[in-house]
Amino acid sequence: MSTSAVLRVALPRARPRRRFGVAARGFAGVLILLAAWQISVPLVGLSPYFYPAPTDVLAAFVALVRKGILPVYLADSVMRYLTGLVCGAGLGIGFGVLIGMSRKASLALSPLFKFLFAIVEVAWIPIFVVWFGYGIETIVLALIYVVFFPVLYNTLLGVRTAPQILVNAVRSLGASRLQVLRLVILPGALPGIITGLRLGAGFAFRGLVFAEMVAAKTGIGYLIFEGAQAQQTSRTIVGMIVMGLLWLAIDQFYLRPIERATIQRWGLTIDAAERT
Amino acid sequence: MLRLPATVTTLLLIALVAYWLAGIVGAHDKLAAIAPPPTSRGDYRITLAFAPERFHQLLLQDKGRLVEVRGNVVFMKDVDPAALRSIARNYWVESVARWSGH
């Protein structure tokens, strides 16, 4: 299967009516799940601490908003997430291009990055806490670490698979190394970079929850942890739902459109994609 | 092509500005009860619509010296005017009043 065909399958361009139908079906699925959950609560007969009903979760959500806790936690989490994502992606793209274009840099850095890649961020967090204490520095560093590797390796892949014929053509026209990078390598690597960014963004979300559980006194991850500690299971579930919804919103409103725009801009769609 | 991210970002920014403005207007109304306006550190009684949780206590501790919590009321000392305004900007703060400190 060609790259364009893969992308076509991965990124169908839905028509508004079909998109509405898909959304309606998704919504119906959620409603059925909620109804089943609510009905099961009296049947199971456990206390709300063990098995809260959707109405308990809704009440916890309303209380968290009314008390101003959820908006602050959400803002803190989003701020940490964006800072980690932007810094991690910037470093990943920079090192990916460097390693992809320079043999010396590749020889010097690849073994180190392979080694570091094997050490998951969870292992670093205790060290970061020792070095930087509890707070934003530790969380952002953990997120940078999580985002860095998927962006790095996908950028590297993009740089190395840039069409050599185009590189040669631009070079033969007298382009400098920087011009080759700007005119051929980066545009060619962009779909790879975007894929890495999307992967990194997803991993960062998981990293954020864990880092906030360990090294923060605010944030959605902390809410999940604090709710469980204080036997307020409804609050934990609110945190989980908010996390899920936040990711859906980021993916739907930002990552997908950016990915689609990149792929269309650099000519990786075919007519059939429009019909899908 | 990137109309959706741009629209969502614009809407978010509008919502943030509206939230910020609502906080300023709300703080103005709450502080109107304190006359004359504070110019130096003072002691205040902060009333919330609910019993404060750890989150509120930690947040208020950053703004001054939290002395006591009684029901929905938090008693604070040495709060400077800027900190008082930032406390009053929170929508979960119901009212702010001077406190004699005893």
Shared-domain flag, residues A138 and A192: yes
Cα A275–Cα B1–Cα B6 angle in degrees, nearest 5: 140
A67–B91 CB contact, under 8 Å: no
pLDDT in the model for residue A275: 42
Task: Quote the CA–CA distance of A24 and A17 in Å, as a whole number.
Answer: 10
Model pLDDT for residues B33-89, shown as the tens digit of each residue: 887 778 888 899 999 999 999 999 999 999 999 999 999 999 999 999 999 999 999
| A162-171, Cβ contacts within 8 angstroms, sequence gap of 24 or more | A162/A188, A162/A189, A163/A188
Mean pLDDT, residues A102-114: 92
Q: Is residue A236 domain-shared with residue A206, that is, in the same domain?
A: yes
Q: Average pLDDT of A13-31?
A: 73
Question: A139, A38, A48: which is closest to A85 by C-alpha?
Answer: A139
What domain count does chain A have?
Answer: 2
Co-location of A217 and A236 in the same domain: yes
Q: Which residue has the tokens 């910020």?
A: B20
> Is B50 within 8 Å of A67 (Cβ atoms)?
yes
CB contact under 8 Å between A264 and B1, yes or no, is yes
Q: What is the pLDDT of residues A226-246, one digit of tens each?
A: 998 888 999 999 999 999 999
pLDDT band for position A16 (cuts 50, 70, 90): low
Categorize the per-residue pLDDT at A249 as very low, low, confident or very high, splitting at 50, 70 and 90.
very high
**A87 lies in the same domain as A219:** yes
Residue A9 and residue A61 in one domain: no
User: Which of A67, A218, A257 lies nearest to residue B50, judging by beta carbons?
Assistant: A67
Same domain, A197 and A249: yes
CB contact under 8 A, A68 and B92: yes
Q: Please indicate, yes or no, whether residues A176 and A229 belong to a single structural domain of this protein.
A: yes
Contacts of B53 in chain A (CB under 8 A): 67, 69
* Helix, coil or strand: residue B73: strand
Q: Do A265 and A164 fall into the same domain? A: yes
Vertex A219 angle, CA A218 and A225, to 5°: 85
The pLDDT value recorded for residue B86 is: 93
Report the DSSP beta bridge partners of residue A5: none
Chain B residue numbers with beta carbons less than 8 Å from the beta carbon of A218 are: 55
Are residues A77 and A194 both part of a single domain?
Answer: yes
E strands, A17-134, are none
- C-alpha distances out from residue A216 to A132, A169, A200, A210, A220, Å: 12, 53, 21, 10, 10
CATH number, domain containing residue A206: 1.10.3720.10
Mean pLDDT of A8-31: 69
| Alpha helical stretches, state H, A45-68 | 54-66
Cis before A16 (ω within 30): no
Whether A192 and A241 map to the same domain: the answer is yes
Whether B58 sits inside 8 A of A264 (CB atoms) is no
The answer, yes or no, to whether residue A5 has pLDDT greater than 80, is no
Same domain, A67 and A145: yes
Q: What percent of chain A has pLDDT over 70?
A: 88
Please check whether residues A2 and A107 belong to one and the same domain: no
Pairing of strands B73-79, B42-48: antiparallel
Chain B contact for A120, CB < 8 A?
Answer: no
A66–chain B Cβ distance below 8 A for any pair: yes
* pLDDT category of residue A270 using cuts at 50, 70 and 90: very low
Q: Does A126 touch chain B (CB under 8 A)?
A: no
Q: What pLDDT is stored for residue A60 in this prediction?
A: 96
Residue A117, domain extent: 54-275
ipTM (interface pTM) = 0.89
Q: Distance between CA A139 and CA A161 in Å, rounded? A: 34
